[in-house]
Amino acid sequence: MTQSPHFPAASLEAVAHPADGLLSDDLKLDRDADGNLALTSPPCPKSKAFFEQPRSNATPAIQGQASTLDAAIAKATEIFRAARHPLLGGLATDVYGMRAVMNLAESTGATIDHMNSKSSMKNILVMQNSGWFVTTLSEVKNRVDLLLVIGTDIVSYFPRFFERVIWNQEAMFTENTAEREIVYLGGRNLDTSAGVSPNGKQPDVLPCDLDRVPEVLAALRALVAGKPLKADDVAGISRTSLEKLAERLKAAEYSVIAWTGSALDFPHAELSIQNIVGVVQELNKTTRSAGLPLSGNDGDVTAYNVSTWISGYPFRNSYRRGYPDYDPYHYDTNRLLAEGEVDALVWINSFNPERLPPKHQVPTIVIGHPSMQFEQAPDVFIPIAIPGLEANGAQFRSDSSVTLPLRKLRETKLPTLSDVLSGIESALKTA
């Protein structure tokens, strides 16, 4: 499909990947005269899939039948007007889109929840309960000498983490990054190849079943605090190995303990994260250490930052009482749908067309990626411009310390999420 000539064929540099938590902004792309993009460097499977996905000729649809944008917005407005408790879910968007979400939630008494909240809430609950000492990607890049990774290989979620943050050639406070020590603790069958240093130094791996990570972390916290451990092993990891790890953490000048909420997929994982935070707290009595909670895929870090600065609360927040009401358990998307507590769902997904709304029986409006395909057509589908690809925007990085601009790389006739949500809000006010 030939687009407007406003964006001619060109080589693009310093492009950011908006759907990845690292927000890598060193990508180089080639754009042809039709607006198709090709990743030229550096190699990254996630970035390649995002930017090179074939373009779609999607149009708005009502119950699977092609429609105009005005008619689709009118139908969505009708669904909102009939709803007593609408749910704005998915929320895979950028700062601009999330601001529009918050405006619509407040004006319609809606509840908001992100598609990744199951993993994100594990971190948020710990931060709210006891606080934590965490670092930034830049600090890790410049200072870390010992990286302890809990329950994940990281690269399954963030393929370029080690390339950009650990094995970087230049660092402000480290002469030779290849001498950094890497330890993987917990999990099975991890891809630890990225943890091999440029000079061939192998990482240390202390494997155990994922559901036994909680007891290993409790034991490590006790050892770091100087408490004796009577057991000969914990979850198959010898006491001697855990004692050596505790001593290495104490001896490090700047250790970092990294994890992803998605990988810690077992009941009450927030208690394990609290043990990680406890280890960091104990280490800081005598040396320097920090946690690194890695997230941000599908814009979840952006969503809870925008929600927090506007309402005072992260997602799983509701305006149904006329003011922000936060409940991390009651306002979970799956629970609300399973128990029939909402009567309309708006599923917002700008980045990954494979992330579809959960199956349910309530009227559904999908506002999202133009390549989305449905087994059962929603009541309304409105394809939108993708931030960082077809629309300008802004996105928070995984560590919440940096917000980067997203560039519009090609033309599209599709509206932005803000356009659509503002249209619905305006129609509701004038009805």
Fold classified for 58-116+298-430: Rossmann fold (3.40.50)
Question: Which pLDDT score, from 0 to 100, does residue 3 have?
Answer: 43
Residue 345, pLDDT > 90, answer: yes
Confidence band of 5 (pLDDT split at 50, 70, 90) = very low
Mean pLDDT of 149-153: 97
The proportion of the chain whose per-residue pLDDT surpasses 90, expressed as a percent, equals 93
| CA dihedral (223, 232, 213, 158) positive or negative | positive
pLDDT digits (tens, 9 = 90+) for 252-268: 999 999 999 999 999 99
Task: Convert 298-313 to b/e letters by CB count within 10 Å (16 or more is b).
Answer: bbbbbbbbbbbebbeb
* Rg (the chain; Cα; Å): 23
The proportion of the chain whose per-residue pLDDT surpasses 70, expressed as a percent, equals 99
Residue 2, pLDDT > 70, answer: no
d(CA 351, CA 115): 12
Mean pLDDT of 314-339: 96
pLDDT digits (tens, 9 = 90+) for 7-26: 899 999 999 999 999 999 99
Residue 418, pLDDT > 50, answer: yes
Mean pLDDT of 161-171: 94
d(CA 355, CA 353): 6
Length of the chain: 431
Phi first, then psi, for residue 98 (nearest 5°) are -70, -30
CB 45 within 8 A of CB 159: yes
Domain residue spans of the chain: 10-49, 58-116+298-430, 120-295
Residue 148, pLDDT > 50, answer: yes
pTM score, whole prediction = 0.94
Fold classified for 120-295: Dimethylsulfoxide Reductase; domain 2 (3.40.228)
DSSP percent split of the chain into helix, strand, coil, nearest 5: 35, 20, 45
Q: Euclidean distance between the first and final Cα of the chain, in Å?
A: 37
Task: Find tokens 């997904």 and name the residue.
Answer: 349
Residue 294, pLDDT > 70, answer: yes
Question: Which pLDDT score, from 0 to 100, does residue 7 have?
Answer: 83
Phi first, then psi, for residue 103 (nearest 5°) are -65, -45
Which two tokens mark 208?
């155990």
Question: Which pLDDT score, from 0 to 100, does residue 152 have?
Answer: 97
Query: Do the domains spanning 58-116+298-430 and 120-295 agree at the CATH topology level?
Result: no
Question: Which pLDDT score, from 0 to 100, does residue 431 have?
Answer: 58
d(CA 291, CA 408): 34
- CA dist 348 → 133, 184, 430 (Å): 32, 35, 24
Question: Which pLDDT score, from 0 to 100, does residue 171 have?
Answer: 87
Return the top range by mean pLDDT from 98-102, 229-233, 294-298: 98-102
pLDDT digits (tens, 9 = 90+) for 113-135: 999 999 999 999 999 998 999 99
DSSP for 181-239?
Answer: EEEEESBSS---GGGS-TT-PPPEEE-B-GGGHHHHHHHHHHHHTT-----SEETTEEH
- Residue with more model confidence, 92 or 5: 92
pLDDT digits (tens, 9 = 90+) for 23-34: 999 999 999 999
Confidence band of 278 (pLDDT split at 50, 70, 90) = very high
Residue 311, pLDDT > 50, answer: yes
Which two tokens mark 225?
């605090």
d(CA 365, CA 392): 24
Look up residue 284 and give its amino acid.
N
Residue 98, pLDDT > 90, answer: yes
